[in-house]
Amino acid sequence: MLLNIKNEVLVRLYLVSAGVLLASFVIWGRMYQLAVAQAEKWEAKADSLYIKWVDVHADRGNILADDGSLLATSLPFFDVHFDAKAEGLTDDVFEANIDSLAFLLSNYVDQQYTAGQYKFWLDSLRHLDAGVRGIRYVPIAKDVPYNKAMQIKNFPLFRLGRYKGGLIIEQKPKRERPFKMLAQRTIGYTREGALPVGLEGSFDHILGGSLGQQLMLRVPGDVYIPINDLAEIEPKAGSDIVTTLDINIQDVAEQSVLNACQTHNADHGCAIVMEVKTGAIRAMANVGRTPEGWWETYNYAVGERVEPGSMFKLASFMAMMEDGYLDGFEEKVPVYGGKVKIYDEELIDAEPHGMDTMTIAQVFAKSSNVGTATLVQKYYGKGKAAAFVDRIRNFGLDLPTNIELGGEDQPVIKTPGDEKNGWSGTTLPWMSIGYELLITPLQLLTFYNAVANDGRMMKPYLVQRIEQYGEAEKTFKPTIIKRSIASKKTIEKAKLLLREVVERGTASNIRSSNYSIAGKTGTAQLNYHKFKAQAGIRHQAGFCGFFPAENPVYSCIVVISEPQQGGYHGAEVAAPVFKAIADKCYAMKASLHVPINAGPAPKPKTNTLPAYDAGDKKELLAGLSWLGISTFHAPKNKENEEDDSKTRNWSTLLPQNDSLMLYDRAVSDKTLPSVVGMGLKDALYIVENRGCRVRVEGVGKVRTQSLAPGTRCGKNSICVLKLE
């Protein structure tokens, strides 16, 4: 019985031992599998939970103006954090520095907290509960500039660095525009969750560079902090782009459009200045009304398709000239007193004139809607509308410019006979005066620029070069869209018509005496129905042209939408803006000025020559010789012929017609002579050598003397010389 019990106990013992041994083998096997065989797998899994790669953005490239001025750049700003659980931060070091650190934080970082409050806060971060070490990645300061970040870096405790002092500094570049609103929409932006805009958006792949990567550690609170101060994979800095914008022209364009919008209480406006020979955009200004005030919220110059109104008449007249219908400009055209009915629609001129007929030149210069539509209907109205539209398309007016900015739409030019696009019997005459078609200001300017450029159509462009550290990586050259949009004869006639508008037409108010302007006004109704009168009609005022007319350097378009006071016609709203921009361009560009020595030197007028200048003969002749002025010696006075010594040293200059005559002046050795016309040096020499004391009043040359010529000076004689 005892033996059986003993055996049963042993069996159970052996079974338990075997179970323990088997469990040990299983545990050790699993440990080997995890620690050795599957080590890489589980390490990667752990890293994925607590460590991750984060993209590091590169330094964004600059956007520069034509002269190298910064239009947009990235400035370094820093976020400062404190790691209260830094591995090397001991309690002794923390206690030794906390007072000084709290004092500096309260004085130089955030003065709304006292040093005591900062000390209590820092201490609570370090010791949340008794015996428990503190939390990590606590914000100290955000968006601080470089100099401020360096100052904080040298604070007590923080100067020990990241691992011993708990300081974490992260750089976050911030995009800045030194010229603020200048060309704001053209420069544009890139924002998370928003469509990219302007040059920033179009050249984001150039400006943004390539991303780097940095390891970040997950800490309690589901916050990631950088493991190292530097990125493990360094980002590549973005390249700079050099634009064609001229900041001076851009500034005057924006100010002029803004002033016009404010003066006329308009909704918005835009202006573009293009270099004729190259197509380079020198200014692109957009101003719109917002609840907060005037701002550049939309690029109307590129993205707003509108009916251009009378500015389109240039294309209509060029089409007729190109087809041989208009040989001269003196032919009389019926204008029916400024009002005509086409089918069931009434067409009227913008301004009443009461004339029954006008010459072709007058129709264009005075911007007669009736005259233009009558001519186009006469030559293209009987089944020839397609020929007119083909000409418009041959001028390139159906093409987008494909400028580097986004948001440009295709122009809308209707096809004759296509009822789907709204073609009707009145479409042709209304199209001829700039209605029933849609085109952007930039697209219309490109056409005008081609006329200014003798028919060669250039592609508008805003970026001329891509640079990296000042070295050109890629250069964009001017691009020709069409070598000739029309014959040379048509182009020359078109220029004459455009000059006539400014000389004797609707834009005569901007005629300049310094340089010549060629262009066309435009006044369009925005909510019209075939010009039927209705309440609350809104208008659009425009002017497009180029200068100097005889040798164009710049072309420019100005469009002001919905002016509500002070007029609404292109001549009174948009043309003055064009003139202000043109005046600035003319003043800044020396090559626009005619050199004063380009022609023969004009003969001097009597009133521009020195008059009654007197003094030492040798000095007078030396000065005139240096100035390149020749003189003629007048015959000697009879009274001085016998005594040449009285006149040989002194002379007087007198103008005669376009010449200077040099007269000898008699100066007696014994009596006081006349010193009128002399400088003070010569006058003092003569008067004091005759024994007189001199008192001087004023500056300049002697105009009067108190003692008459011929006076014998005594010991106490005083001669007062008044100079002017």
Q: Are residues 70 and 91 in the same domain?
A: yes
d(CA 169, CA 78): 6
Residue 28: the pLDDT is: 81
Proportion of the chain in helix, strand, coil states, percent, rounded to 5: 35, 25, 40
Is residue 12 over pLDDT 80?
no
| Per-residue confidence (pLDDT) for residue 586, from 0 to 100 | 92
- Choice between 123 and 498, residue whose per-residue pLDDT is larger: 498
Q: 261 with 118, same domain? A: no
Mean pLDDT of 555-564: 95
CB 176 within 8 A of CB 73: yes
Q: How confident is the model at residue 482 (pLDDT cuts 50, 70, 90)?
A: very high
pLDDT digits (tens, 9 = 90+) for 276-294: 999 999 999 999 998 888 8
Are 324 and 375 within one domain? yes
- Count of domains forming the chain: 3
Q: What is the CA angle 190-193-197, rounded to 5?
A: 30
Domain match, 336 and 444 both = yes
Confidence check: pLDDT of 595 > 80: no
Is 8 within a domain?
no
Please check whether residues 235 and 285 belong to one and the same domain.
Answer: no
Q: What pLDDT does 536 receive?
A: 66
In angstroms, rounded to a whole number, what is the distance separating the alpha carbons of residues 461 and 590?
Answer: 24
Q: Please tell me the predicted confidence (pLDDT) of residue 413.
A: 92
89 assigned to some structural domain: yes
- pLDDT value of residue 646: 53
Mean pLDDT of the chain: 84
What per-residue confidence (pLDDT) applies to 131?
Answer: 41
What confidence score (pLDDT) does residue 492 get?
95
- Residues near 676 by beta carbon (within 8 Å), at least 6 away in sequence: 612, 614, 702, 703, 704, 705
Q: Please give the Cα distance from 625 to 622 (Å, whole number).
A: 5
Going by pLDDT thresholds of 50, 70 and 90, the confidence category of residue 530 is very low
Domain range for 502 is 250-590
Cα-based distances in Å from 680 to 452, 614, 664, 683, 700: 59, 11, 19, 5, 8
Residue 124 has pLDDT above 50, yes or no: yes
CA distance 49 to 35: 18
- At 611 the pLDDT is 64
What is the reported pLDDT for 130?
Answer: 40
Bridge partners of 694? Answer: 719
pLDDT digits (tens, 9 = 90+) for 453-471: 999 999 999 999 999 888 8
Residue 531: the pLDDT is 47
Q: Residue 3: its pLDDT value, please?
A: 58
In a domain, 391, yes or no: yes
Contacts for 339 with CB less than 8 Å, ≥ 6 apart: 346, 347, 348, 349, 370
Residues 586, 661 within the same domain: no
> What pLDDT shows up at residue 683?
85
Percentage of the chain exceeding pLDDT 70: 85
CATH of the domain at 202: 3.90.1310.10
Strands 127-129 and 240-243: unpaired
**pLDDT bracket for residue 440 (50, 70, 90):** very high
Together in a domain, 567 and 672: no
The verdict on 629 and 573 lying in the same domain is no
Beta strands per DSSP E along 182-244: 212-219, 223-226, 240-243
**In the prediction, which pLDDT does 320 show?**
94
User: Given this model, what pLDDT does residue 329 score?
Assistant: 87
Distance between terminal CA atoms of the chain?
Answer: 153
Q: Is there a single domain that holds both residue 94 and residue 223?
A: yes
**Residue 644: pLDDT over 60:** no
Q: How many CA atoms lie within 13 A of 96 on its CB side?
A: 11
Is pLDDT at 450 greater than 50 in this prediction? yes
Comparing 170-174, 352-356, 545-549, 605-609, the range with the smallest average pLDDT is 605-609
**Do residues 515 and 646 share a domain?**
no
Residue 398 has pLDDT above 50, yes or no: yes
The Cα-based distances of 270 to 303, 578, 615, 679, 702 in angstroms read 11, 11, 63, 59, 60
Report the pLDDT value the prediction gives residue 20, as an integer from 0 to 100: 80
Question: What pLDDT, in 10s, does the model give residues 289-327?
Answer: 988 888 888 999 999 999 999 999 999 999 999 999 988
Same domain, 220 and 80: yes
Q: What is the pLDDT of residues 37-75, one digit of tens each?
A: 766 665 555 545 566 666 666 778 899 999 889 998 888
What are the Cα distances from residue 335, in Å, to 71, 261, 310, 538, 620? Answer: 51, 34, 16, 25, 70
Tell me the percentage of the chain whose pLDDT exceeds 90.
36
- Give domain status of residue 424, yes or no: yes
- Are the C-beta atoms of residues 461 and 450 closer than 8 Å to each other? no
**Per this entry, what is the length of the chain?**
724
46 occurs within a structural domain: no
For residue 15, being part of any structural domain is answered with no
pLDDT confidence tier of residue 342, bands split at 50, 70 and 90: confident
Among 530, 561, 590, identify where a domain stops. 590
Q: What is the mean pLDDT of residues 345-371?
A: 86
Q: Judge whether residue 638 has pLDDT over 60.
A: no
The confidence score (pLDDT) of residue 219 equals 61
**Cα 367 to Cα 351: distance, rounded to the nearest angstrom:** 9
Sheet holding 212-219, edge to edge: 51-56, 212-219, 223-226
**Whether residue 396 sits in one domain with residue 354:** yes
CB–CB of 140/82 below 8 Å?
Answer: yes
Give the Cα separation of 617 and 646 in Å (integer).
12
| CA-based nearest residue to 86, from 100, 97, 99 | 97
pLDDT of residue 642: 44
- Give the side-chain half-sphere CA count within 13 A for 318: 31
Which pair of tokens denotes residue 583? 């005046």
Give the pTM: 0.73
Single out the residue in 205, 227, 243 at which a domain terminates: 243
Domain C-terminal end among 535, 559, 590: 590
Give the pLDDT band of residue 552 (cuts 50, 70, 90): very high
Decide: helix, strand or coil at residue 345. Answer: strand
Sheet containing strand 539-547, strands side by side = 293-295, 281-290, 268-275, 554-561, 539-547, 518-525
Q: For 535, which DSSP code?
A: T
Domain-embedded: residue 31: no
Q: pLDDT, tens digit, for every residue of 163-194?
A: 788 888 877 788 888 888 888 888 888 877 77
Whether 19 maps to a domain, the answer reads: no
CB atoms closer than 10 angstroms to residue 239: 22
Q: How many H helices and E strands in the chain?
A: 22, 33
